[in-house]
Amino acid sequence: MLSREENELLCRVGPGTPMGALFRRYWLPIMHASELSADGDPVRIRLLGEDLFAFRDTQGQIGLMETLCPHRLAPLYMGRNEESGIRCLYHGWKFEVTGRCVDMPNEPPTSTFKDRVAMRSYLTRECGDVVWAYLGEPEKVPDFPIYRWAAVPTANRIKAKWIQEANWMQSLEGGIDTSHASFLHRRFDVFTRATEERGAAAGSALSTMLWEDTAPRLEIEPTSYGFRYAAIRRSADAQAYVRITPHIMPCSSYPPGVFDQNRLWNCWVPRDDESCWAWDVVFNEERPLDATEVEGLKEVRGYNGYDPGTFRKYGNRDNLWLQDRQAMKKDSWSGIRGIFAQDNAVQEGMGPIVDRTREHLGTADLAIIYARRLYLRAARDLLERGIEPPGVSSAETYQAIDSDAYLQPADAIWHEVKPLDPKFVSETA
């Protein structure tokens, strides 16, 4: 368990907080690129406790800035997006994507006042059909991370994001908690059986072990980007089923899949202390995803469970996340449709910020324990010693990070079978 002070440090991400400072050292995914069109509607977004808005100007450049006009604090996100800038409705002040004021039509033509006024704005970049932002100090811009999923063609991936009404860390902890998959995501329905039959024999065997050995042994290996861990399950034929999951700071993981070559990437970007943007990407490095496959993945992953306009889920605390008690008897363990809807139910059900002083953690929680210590140490090191957090100085190598799921002899050592790439060896390991 954590102390109350440690829990506060871990969860608070607003300006001036240690964890907020840590997140502001990284590039973060903030929205689908398709949400913004040239001279189109500005989009409000909450990130790291700040209310911001984004817009795409006439040339296609993206601006991300504070919401209120510095003149009289009118809502600039309601302004006119035209002629390479956003213009305030109140008095016509105009700002370009960098936040620089380029026109003050209610001031004399000879005035130089506009040259002394600017909006707080942040750097943006597009990659993988996603808009990324850096909210830190401009003079300390880190390397831009190229993830494996972002390097494949658009037709080779599907992705979704939604608002999760829970602190970023308890959401992230669900993503690195491997033993819960044997329970929360268990399904009994026809779709699951058909999916297993379509998979390779090895894939079906591996999925069976996921359900049969519900108490995997966990082992951790520190890395330069965070850590990776192995969940090792027993097999009836003197083999072990090993699932290797890399956890990449500041807030993403590559959980290994089970069927064919589809891969997964999950990310939890803090909106504020009590909610986050949850991202899910399914991608294939070898081929495009076909239409039938896409529809099936949307159903299984839970992409149909939120409003595509507001990114708020249809299932929530008030309606018990649309849990169906009859479905629990014949379709699924949880009675909730969609893997991430299931995760949301238990993570949001803890409350916006869970009281970790009341927990009783076991051996299955080793990755969670390690992650908490890692983040607390990284935030303190940055605050007190100026030490950059993991991955900031080498994010260009992120494309080489990968997960794995395979069978090995029971007495084999997983990190010798699948050794860590030398470029990711941690100097502090």
The answer on pLDDT for 264 being more than 90 is yes
What pLDDT score does 203 carry?
42
Q: Which two tokens stand for residue 352?
A: 């916006």
Mean per-residue pLDDT, 19-30: 98
Q: Which of 124-128, 257-261, 297-301, 389-393 has the highest mean pLDDT?
A: 124-128
Q: Please state the rounded mean pLDDT for residues 215-235.
A: 94
pLDDT at site 182? 80
User: Considering only CA atoms, which of 19, 1, 2, 23 is closest in space to residue 10?
Assistant: 19
- The confidence score (pLDDT) of residue 200 equals 35
> Where does the pLDDT of residue 179 fall: very low under 50, low under 70, confident under 90, or very high at 90 and above?
confident
Q: What pTM was estimated for this model as a whole?
A: 0.92
pLDDT at 196: 43
Contacts of 309 (CB under 8 A, 6+ apart): none
**How would you write 271-335 as a 3-class SS string?**
EECCEEEEEEEEECCCCCCCHHHHHHHHHHHCCCCECCCCCEECCCHHHHHHCCCCHHHHCECCC
With CA atoms as reference, report the closest residue to 211 among 190, 182, 184: 182
| Rounded mean pLDDT, 307-314 | 94
pLDDT at 207: 60
- The answer to whether residue 25 scores a pLDDT higher than 70 is yes
What pLDDT is recorded for position 190?
A: 47
For residue 198, what pLDDT is reported? 40
Residue 163 has pLDDT above 90, yes or no: yes
Q: What is the secondary structure of 330-369 as a DSSP string?
A: HTBSSS-SSHHHHHHHHHHHT-SS--GGG----GGGHHHH
- What is the average pLDDT value for the chain, to the nearest integer? 91
Handedness of CA 132, 136, 137, 141 (dihedral sign): negative
74-94: average pLDDT: 98
Contact 144, 151 (CB under 8 A): no
Q: Which whole number is the average pLDDT over 210-232?
A: 91
Domains of the chain: 27-140 (2.102.10.10), 148-424 (3.90.380.10)
Tell whether the model's pLDDT for residue 191 goes beyond 50: no
Task: Report which of 239, 288, 235 is spatially closest to residue 261, judged by C-alpha positions.
Answer: 288
Rounded to an integer, what distance in angstroms lies between the CA atom of residue 26 and that of residue 13? 13
Q: What CA–CA distance (Å, rounded) separates 105 from 102?
A: 10
Q: Is the pLDDT of residue 17 over 50?
A: yes
Count of CA atoms in the C-beta half-sphere (13 A) of 220: 20
> Is pLDDT larger for residue 57 or for residue 333?
57
Q: For residues 7-26, b (16+ Cβ closer than 10 Å) or e, as one string?
A: bebbbbbeeebbbbbbbbbb
Residues 302 and 26: their CA atoms lie apart, in Å, by 28
